[in-house]
Chain A
Amino acid sequence: MMEVCGSSNVTLREFGCEQSLLSRPDGSASFIQGDTSVMAGVYGPAEVKVSKEIYDRATLEVLIQPKVGLPSVRERSQEQCVRETCEASLLLSLHPRSSLTLILQVLHDDGSLLSCFLNAACMALMDAGLPMSCLFCGVTCAIDADGQIITDPTAAQEKQSRALMTFAIDSTEHRVMMSSTKGSFSVYELQQCIAVSQKASEKIFQFYRDSVRRRYSKTL
C-alpha cells in the first residue's frame, strides 16, 4: 500500500485573476498561478461561417497561442482538452447557429499550464456572461520520484516528476470532467490524485466566488 502523500507538498501556489482587462473581446480574463500566467479572450455568440454552423448548438472554437513560434501539435491537443471541457459545461443549445471563440495566450509558462488554461477559460466565459451549467477548474498533480503527490507543480517539479496529471473538475458535484495524463502510475495513485484534485478544486471555486463577489460588490 502506498503511503499517504505528505501534506506539506499539497499546496496551491498563489493565484490571481483579473477580469475584463481587454476592451475588444466580449469577455476576457487573465489567470496567474505562481509564475504561470495565461490570458483568455472570448468572442460570442457571434456570426458563424456556414461551413462550420451547427443547426441546434453554438460552435465553440478554441485557439491556443504559444509565446514563441507558431502553434504546433501540442497546442492542438491542449485545445482539444479545453474545448471538450467547455462544451460539457456551456449551454450551447441556447445559441444555435452561432459561434463562440475562445482564445488563450500564454504569457509565461512555469508549469501547470493546462490547468491554468482551464481556469482562465472559465473566468473569461463567466466574464462574457455565457450561460453555463456548472463552472469548472483545472488542477494539475505531479508524482515525483519518491511517490509524493505535488499539486500545482512548477516547471522544474514537472520535469523531475514521474507522472503528470491534469483534471478538470466541475463545481456542482466535484466530478472529473476531463483528464489528461502523462507518465506511468498505479490505479491507487490515480485515485489519490483525483481525490486530491477534488479537494484542491474547492479552494479554486472559493476563489472564483470571492473574485466575482468582489467584482459585483458595488452593484449588488
Chain B
Amino acid sequence: MAGLELLSDQGYRLDGRKASELRKVQARMGVFAQADGSAYLEQGNTKALAVVYGPHEIRGSRSRALHDRAVINCQYSMATFSTAERKRRPHGDRKSTEMSLHLKQTFEAAVMTQLYPRSQIDIYVKILQSDGGNYSVCVNAATLAVIDAGIPMRDYVCACTVGFVDETPLADLCYAEESGGVSSLALALLPRGGQIALLQMDARLHQDHLETLIEAAMTACKGVSKVLDEVVRQHLQEVSVLTGE
C-alpha cells in the first residue's frame, strides 16, 4: 500500500473524512425475536451482529459459577465472507480467542453482574463485513444488544479505534488505514465517568504522543455514545408506540 496518502495536505483522508470525523453509524436493535437481546450495527463498511442470551442458569460445569456475580461468556467470530480473502478458520484461532477475552473483560467491567449471582450471560458477536475497527464495532453492537436484553449496565460502553499519522490523530480507522502500518489504539470507554474499560495499542508510538491519542480516542467514543443513545431512545419510542403506551 505504498504511495497512498493517509492524510492529504488539506486534511482529508482516503475516504474524504476529516481527521476527527467518525464514519456513519447505523444501528438497529431487536433484530432477532428468539434471543433475549440483539442488535445490528454498521460503522462505515464494517458490519457486526450481536446477540445476547441471559441471564440464565450456568450451562455446563457448575464449578464455573461465581457465588456473588454472573459469569459473562463472550464469543467473537468472523464470517468467512467478511474479509477480502475467504477466512479459512473463523473461530478457534488465537486472534479470535484473544478478541473474545477482550470483549469479556470489557463487559465484565460495565455490566452490573452483582445483581445476578450464580448465573451466566452469553454475548455472541459476529462480524459480517470487516473494514477496520473490528473490536470497536463489536463492542458498540454488543452494548446495544445488552441494552436490548434489559440487563442493567453502569453506562454505555463505546469503543473507537484511532490512529496516529503526521502528528495528527485519525479517529475511526478503516481497513486501508489500519494495514498501512499506522499505530492504532483501540479504546473502550464508559463516557459519563471517563473510565477506560479496555486499552489496546500496537505498533510504535512515541510516549509524548500518547496523551493526545488517548484524548482523541475519548472524544471519538463520546461521539459514538451520543449516536448509540439516539438509537436506543428511538427504538424505545417505536416499541412503546407498538405496545400502545
Q: Report A-B touching, CB under 8 Å.
A: no
